[in-house]
Amino acid sequence: MEYRLFFIGAAMGLFAWRSRVWEKEGGPRTPLASALWHALFGFLAAFSAVMIIAMSFDGRSRYVSVAAFVLALNEVLPALAAGLVAGAVCFWRAWSKDGVAARRHRLHEDLEWSDTVFSAALMASLLMMFVVQAFKIPSGSMESTLMVGDHLFVNKFVYGLRVPFVSRRVLPLRPIARGDVLVFQFPVEDLRETHCGSVQYGKDFIKRVIGLPGETVEVRQGRVLIDGRLLADEPYAQHKDPYRQPESVHATEVPPRRYQELWQGHRLDKELQDIQRDYFGPVKVPERSYFLMGDNRDQSCDSRYWGPVEERFIKGKAWLLYWPPSRMKIVR
């Protein structure tokens, strides 16, 4: 969302800059130029408004373009339609009410509105990039720590300020620790890759850190072992299904090195197709990567299925649950 707001602000900023230059030159010299410029403003305003409304809804839809981290098809099409309609209305309005004074007045009005949108969108995008972002819990994988529909704020600076469009962080306050609840972009880059029954590219997930870089993680009878030792202190873990699956014969036949390669390459669930929640690994967590699991262990699509979460995909730490008010708390 933050990148989409940034580009909305940038588009309005360019419009405002060109309008300011044009205003100093005396404004549009012809009725056609004035009408087209006002139509462009109407298009940008309507397109931005519909995009912002779309972004306020659940963003876990399928992404289908190379710029999927910026725009989704089901957001772009309504926004384009609204922009074209608004642009046509603005063109007709400017064309039907022409005159030098009217042209200059429209240009000045468009300049003021575009300046306002530019400032608001830029500030909001910077806030969301570097400080805090709102997030809505989409599934039951973190129950009962976090419930479906809970709204929370994500702290985006605690692990360091992320340099936009690159995978580097600077000035971290503390490192990622076991037990932290993270919000992250699903760790795949293939637009068509499916995991847990659907395409996950570009979606935001929330899970808890279980395994740290360099550690060996495995699951036996639903219980987590780190470097061969039982991870006993897990008060957050929930096992709602009393049935424990038997270990898969297919999984035990895969050589350990091949198993590690498949898991680390996010292909384990594709190759084996019978990944089991109660028996997994062992695997070694790569450097700058983490093993994440949902608190609702029996109903969580997590690192047991689709592999490690590389540091570059991590957005921040879940911080404050603010809605509903009856469940307001610091997320731990």
- The 10s digit of each residue's pLDDT in 85-123 is 999 999 998 888 878 888 888 899 999 999 998 998 888
Average of per-residue pLDDT across 3-14? 86
In this structure, which long-range contacts are made by residues 144-149, counting pairs with CB atoms below 8 Å and at least 24 apart in sequence?
A: 144/238, 144/295, 144/296, 145/181, 145/208, 145/236, 145/295, 145/331, 146/181, 146/206, 146/295, 146/318, 146/321, 146/331, 147/327
**Distance (Å, whole) CA 237 – CA 259:** 26
- The set of catalytic residues is 141, 207
Q: Average the pLDDT over 21-43 and give the result.
A: 88
DSSP 63: P
In sequence order, the 6+-apart residues with CB closer than 8 A to the CB of 20 are 111
Is the pLDDT assigned to residue 318 strictly greater than 90? yes
Q: Between these two residues, 171 and 261, which has the higher pLDDT value?
A: 261
What pLDDT shows up at residue 189? 84
Report the C-alpha gap between 229 and 223 in whole angstroms. 10
Q: Residue ranges per domain, the chain?
A: 2-130, 133-330
* pTM given for the model: 0.75
Q: How confident is the model at residue 58 (pLDDT cuts 50, 70, 90)?
A: very low
Backbone φ, ψ for residue 134 (5° rounding): -85, 150
| CA distances for 55 relative to 2, 4, 155, 193, angstroms | 10, 9, 19, 23
More confident residue, 180 or 162: 180
CB 145 within 8 A of CB 181: yes
Q: How confident is the model at residue 74 (pLDDT cuts 50, 70, 90)?
A: low
Q: Is the pLDDT of residue 68 over 70?
A: no
Q: Answer whether residue 57 shows pLDDT above 60.
A: no
Topology, domain 133-330: Umud Fragment, subunit A (2.10.109)
Distance (Å, whole) CA 72 – CA 201: 11
CA distance 281 to 307: 11
pLDDT band at 66 (very low <50, low <70, confident <90, very high): very low
Q: What is the pLDDT of residues 206-234, one digit of tens each?
A: 999 999 999 999 999 889 999 999 998 88
Residue 21 has pLDDT above 60, yes or no: yes
Question: What is the rounded CA–CA span in Å between residue 304 and residue 291?
Answer: 8
Tell whether omega for the bond before 324 is within 30 degrees of 0, i.e. cis.
yes
Residue 48 banded pLDDT, cuts 50, 70, 90? confident
Residues facing 224 on adjacent strands: 219
Band of residue 191 on the pLDDT scale cut at 50, 70, 90: confident
Per-residue pLDDT of 245-277, as tens digits, reads 777 766 778 889 999 999 999 988 888 876 778
Q: How many CB atoms lie within 10 A of CB 237?
A: 18
The pLDDT of residue 202: 80
More confident residue, 309 or 201: 309
Would you place residue 23 in the very low, low, confident or very high pLDDT band (cuts 50, 70, 90)? confident
Confidence of residue 240 (pLDDT cuts 50, 70, 90): confident
Let me know: does 79 contact 50? Beta carbons within 8 Å.
Answer: yes
Return all residues near 252 (Cβ < 8 A) that are at least 6 apart.
none
Residues facing residue 182 across a β-bridge: 207, 317
DSSP H stretches of helix in the chain: 2-24, 31-55, 73-96, 100-130, 249-252, 256-264, 268-272, 303-306
Look over the chain and give the mean of its residue pLDDT values, rounded to a whole number.
85
Tell which residue, 287, 319, 116, 285, has the closest CA to residue 206: 319
